[in-house]
Amino acid sequence: MTQPLDFKRNTAAPLDLGWVNSIKVNRNAADRRAASLANRRTVKKEYQAAWLIRAVECMDLTTLGGDDTPGRVERLCMKAMRPLRTDLMQALGIDSLTTGAVCVYHEMITPAVKVLQGRLPIAAVSTAFPAGLSSLETKLREIELSVAAGATEIDIVITRQHVLTGNWQALYDEMLAYRQACGEAHVKAILATGDIVTLDNVAKASWVCMMAGADFIKTSTGKEGVNATIPVSLVMTRAIREYYEQTGFQVGYKPAGGVSTAKSALQYLTVMKEELGNDWLQPHLFRIGASSLMTDIERQLEHYVTGNYSAAHRHAQP
Ligand SMILES: O=C[C@H](O)COP(=O)(O)O
């Protein structure tokens, strides 16, 4: 890949983004690597409980339904603060455990604040989630309102047409405007990878969003036809790695949408460890966005407890 001349992060200074068009992904290599990941057992049985606990710690426990109510969000927040039953915690030898954050619609920030009282981060999906097809002015105002209501993380959606038409400057300017509207709040850029069609586009959009100041890049809203996948995750984590090598900035990664089994969570943890290393296996650089994953993790942890596996290795890197 060609390194952009005069590279700057998070700046309105004119950048020549023409080089973005030269980014290419070897689709076959990504598919082969993804297939090998699914077929081998990277995580030893005795460490699986520890890995699943890490998955909980890195989870954005999510509810993004049109039928969300304050009551549902309050229950979600209580679950986020105490994700496992006391007897299971004791059996696993864990004193305390929370999810990484909760993730809700703008209107549900207030009930989340009421329960969490600052004890866990609140991520809000702003910018006309999930399609993002409102005016930029409306979307920037939504970010400001979400931050004012108590969200400390904002999950923005990019305008897919900027990617589909190769308008990298428009994507950069949009991301930069979102970054600035977020102020102190962290900003996660949702690429909606199922909508932008090709792995080349996924890599290009990842680079442009990181350059414009995204703290995290995130695969999906959970509402596209195809959401998080392993090949897409390989492309995005490799972009993060290369961006870090070139700039020194650590950008986080959030697979989201359809991650509902403990087995799939373990695959994403493996991608993070193998592509980015142990630094990226922490909640400040890795989140799994999921609404139903917790149920399967609980089920699997029960299984490990009854099978006499413990989380004694919790503090070992998974
Ligand atoms: O950002 C998180 C996703 O919307 C969650 O998707 P999910 O309901 O398929 O787990």
Q: Which residues form ligand 1's pocket by a CB distance below 6 Å?
A: 62, 64, 103, 221-222, 256-259, 289-292
**258 CA to middle of ligand 1, Å?**
6
Residues 6+ apart with CB under 8 A from 218: 155, 188, 189, 190, 191, 253, 254, 255, 256, 287, 289
Q: Whose CA is nearest to atom 6 of ligand 1?
A: 257
Mutate to test the pocket of ligand 1, among 291, 293, 297 (most ligand atoms within 8 A of CB): 291
Catalytic residue, candidates 139, 188, 204, 218: 218
The residue ranking higher by pLDDT, 39 or 301, is: 301
Alpha carbon 215 to chain centroid, angstroms: 10
What token pair was written down for 179? 């970054």
Q: Residues 113-165: pLDDT tens digits?
A: 999 999 999 999 999 999 999 999 999 999 999 999 999 999 999 999 999 99
Is residue 52 classed exposed, middle or buried when 0-12, 13-18 and 19+ CB atoms within 10 A define those classes? buried
Rg (C-alpha) for the chain, rounded Å, is 19
Q: How far apart are CA 182 and CA 186, in angstroms?
A: 7
Give this complex's ipTM: 0.97
Q: How far apart are CA 55 and CA 131, in angstroms?
A: 28
pLDDT at 75: 98
Q: Is 155 a catalytic residue?
A: yes
pLDDT at 39: 65
Mean pLDDT of the chain: 91
- 273, 286 contact by CB (below 8 A): no
Q: How far apart are CA 168 and CA 176, in angstroms?
A: 12
DSSP state, residue 3: P
What is the percentage of the chain residues whose pLDDT exceeds 70?
89
Least Cα distance to 127 among 155, 103, 162, 164 occurs for: 155
**Domains of the chain listed by start with CATH number:** 33-306 (3.20.20.70)
Q: Is 254 a catalytic residue?
A: yes
Q: Residues 251-269: pLDDT tens digits?
A: 999 999 999 999 999 999 9
Residues 6+ apart with CB under 8 A from 78: 115
Q: Residues 161-213: pLDDT tens digits?
A: 999 999 999 999 999 999 999 999 999 999 999 999 999 999 999 999 999 99
Indicate whether 43 pLDDT > 80. no
Indicate whether 6 pLDDT > 50. no
Q: Residues 81-93: pLDDT tens digits?
A: 999 999 999 999 9
**87 CA to middle of ligand 1, Å?**
28
Q: Three-state SS for 240?
A: helix
Whole-Å CA distances, 40 to 69, 255, 263: 41, 21, 12
Atom of ligand 1 nearest to the CA of 221: 4
Q: Write down the pTM of the prediction.
A: 0.92
Lowest-pLDDT choice from 38-52, 248-262, 265-279: 38-52
| pLDDT band at 37; cut points 50, 70, 90 | confident
What token pair was written down for 13? 């200074």
Sign of CA dihedral 14, 18, 21, 23: negative
pLDDT at 36: 83
What is the percentage of the chain residues whose pLDDT exceeds 90?
81
Atom of ligand 1 nearest to the CA of 289: 2
